[in-house]
Structure 1
Amino acid sequence: MAKVAIIYYSATGNVHRLAHAVDEGARTAGAETRLRHVAELAPKEAIAANDAWSSHRDEVRDDPTATLDDLEWADAYIFGTPTRFGNVSSQLKQFMDTTGGLWAQGKLADKVAAGFTSSQNAHGGQESTILALYNTFHHWGALIAAPGYTSERGYPAGGNPYGASSVNGVDEAELDYARYVGERVATLAARLAPVASAV
């Protein structure tokens, strides 16, 4: 059984919904999962000025927050972030920037990894955001498991070969593709687990 960490940041809830679908897909494939959001960094005044943002912060207030232990524990990790000028949100990036100790010990290497994102517009930087996530995964020595065009389930969701994504809200096709990404990562991690434990 693979152990999969789903680590994400969501401001207004779209990435949160994708994260839950990714988690569902990984569990469907037999994985043990840890679904974790990262800490909020934005000023309270900025959050309070946006009803959707404020409402979502209340919704996840008691949900578990990601720690480095979640990454060390996992055989695979799937990271999610809203697009921020075609890049990773500062909240998720800050968490990723704390992984230097694990990276130096080789504890992030040889793990299956993928990403997901959400944007307001179809050309709002989804692909570059996921690729930006993958830059860090390359430095960690992760084994990128982008979905490519390995399933017909991707086409109704926009056909993003880099990872799961949604546009201006989340529809059922996008949720289904996120489930597929979770299934794919969990399946590949389970196949590689015996090899990794033998090394």
Structure 2
Amino acid sequence: MEPVNVAIIYYSATGTVHALAQAVAEGAEKAGAQVRLRKVAELAPPEAIGARPEWVQHLEDTADVAEAGHEDLEWADAVLFGTPTRFGNPASPLRAFIETTGPLWFQGKLAGKVYSAFTASNTAHGGQESTILALGNTFYHWGGVIVPPGYTDPVQFQSGNPYGTSHVAGTGAPTEVTLEAARHQARRVVHIAATLKAGRNA
């Protein structure tokens, strides 16, 4: 079977969503996919970043991660988007990237791909579900095939979010349960994308 191309496009200020994105990449690679891990450009002013040492450190730690471009979306059979919640919505740097994709959308180059999303918030009820659902609105417009993790693996009954992997950042770094939920989500995305790709090529 032809390998599935998976793009993981995320925004992370202090590293939580980056950790989830790395677990997603692991899950996709172990499922046999070719993976591109891509961050979106940081838009915050230097004074805001400088006020939080962990933000400065994370930017230094991920300086070698390539920034997302339209070519990554065109290349991908499946795309997983990661973002912290911002008042129940995706973070503005990720939205800014998404809002540049009009030309691809207009040409139909985003349709028929598999899409999924993951997130983190500072508190347990900080908008995780609404953030993932908000990204879904974009996937509808693109004509995408939305693949959530659902309750399709025992780990989901521990992680508790059928919409997409999520983590409460206020409790510390993602636990192994959360990271495994992210890997499972990626494996599910790869499996369904592979099935769709094989069907189209049959």
Measured in 2, the distance between the counterparts of 1:28 and 1:138 equals: 28
Match of 2:183 in 1: 179
Runs (4 or more) in structure 1 with deviation over 6 Å come to none
1:29 and 2:25 are equivalent in the alignment: no
Measured in 2, the distance between the counterparts of 1:89 and 1:35 equals: 18
Equivalent AA in structure 2 for residue 170 of structure 1: P
Q: How far off is 1:197 after superposition? A: 4.1
Q: How far off is 1:148 after superposition? A: 1.1
Equivalent AA in structure 1 for residue 178 of structure 2: E
**Matching residue within 100, 103, 110 for 2:102:** 100
Q: How far off is 1:79 after superposition? A: 0.2
Superposition RMSD in Å: 0.9
Q: TM-score scaled to structure 2, two decimals?
A: 0.95
Q: Secondary structure at the match of 2:96?
A: helix
Q: Secondary structure at the match of 1:156?
A: helix
Match of 2:55 in 1: 53
Measured in 1, the distance between the counterparts of 2:133 and 2:64 equals: 31
Deviations 1:44-70 (A, max 9, x none): 110010011111011111211100000
Aligned length, in residue pairs: 197
Q: Is the 8 A contact 1:110 1:196 kept in 2?
A: no
Q: Secondary structure at the match of 2:180?
A: helix
Query: Which consecutive residues of structure 2, in runs of 5 or more, have no partner in the other structure?
Result: none
Query: Which consecutive residues of structure 1, in runs of 5 or more, have no partner in the other structure?
Result: none
Identity of aligned residues (%): 57
Measured in 1, the distance between the counterparts of 2:178 and 2:44 equals: 27
Deviations 1:16-44 (A, max 9, x none): 00000001001111100100000000001
Match of 1:111 in 2: 113
Q: Secondary structure at the match of 1:83?
A: strand
Q: TM-score scaled to structure 1, two decimals?
A: 0.97
